[in-house]
Amino acid sequence: MNRFLASELEETTPEQCRFQIVPVPFEATVSYGGGTAEGPRAILDASDQLELWDGESIPADEGIYTHEPVDCTGPTEQVLARIEAAVSHAAEYGLPVMLGGEHSVTLGALRALKKKHGSFGIVQFDAHADLRKAYEGDPYSHASVMHRALELEIPVFQLGVRAFCTEEVEVRKKHNVPHIDAKDLARNPLPETLLPEDFPKDLYITFDVDGLDPSVIRATGTPVPGGIQWWQAITLLEKAVKGRNVIGCDVVELAPQEGDHASDFAAAQLTYSMMGIIQRSTK
């Protein structure tokens, strides 16, 4: 696979870089459109077209290192163990930025960072709640990843959800999962402070690209209308990280489609913009 921003950045070592890219081309449980295994490659290739200046700063000044892709062959539990090891390794050097792959890959990162940091919270951008106990009999389904997070006793804050089943509604109520759904984002002003005051200071950001409206990214397995627009997403990210410490993040569920360069580029820009927001939040 390519390196992130290989067209602009010299090869370097992980010790020199804050941002540690971990490609995870995993696809096993997608339930509608497929292709997420090619998501990391598409993001890395599209990153060659990015500008170093993101509009406010140069995130690449803090260093970006791209690790070898995680081996995603074999049973899901084995793959998750490899993801956990890869993220643990990346976290030794800097901030892991995982590129999926389907959303189930996030569980491997959460396990790694739970061991390293203990308590932290998740900010989830998504069209779906992903709170099913299991989907089609699989507890490791992409539709169950946030249920697994709650089992790890990691609190979750959800943004942009607009498609969920009755089971997920009940899980939300049972666990008191805070959220601002897509309908509310569209109809109401954003709160001045996005996250609850008692939400953990350390954050993991998971960004399923179907959280964005299909007019921004169409190349995803389940493009649900009525999603978050680009600048709204940037504002939400800025509000989420303000006064907090990001310990890792991911961009998942891109399913590249032939001829749709816009979706690939938007996912690469999203990844780089997240780095910039994290960079500026700590200055």
Would you list which residues are annotated within the binding site for Mn(2+)?
A: 103, 126, 128, 130, 208, 210
Burial of 75 (0-12, 13-18, 19+ CB in 10 A): exposed
CA atoms of 11 and 152, how far apart (whole Å): 37
> Which residue ranges are tagged as binding site?
103, 126, 128, 130, 208, 210
**What sign does the dihedral 88-119-100-28 (CA atoms) show?**
positive
Angle formed by the axes of helices 230-241 and 261-281, to 10°? 30
Q: Which residues of 182-191 are buried (b: 16+ CB within 10 A; e: fewer)?
A: beebeeeeee
Amino acid at 204: Y
CA atoms of 267 and 216, how far apart (whole Å): 9
For 113, 147, 275, the CA distances from 154, given in Å and listed in that order, are 11, 10, 23
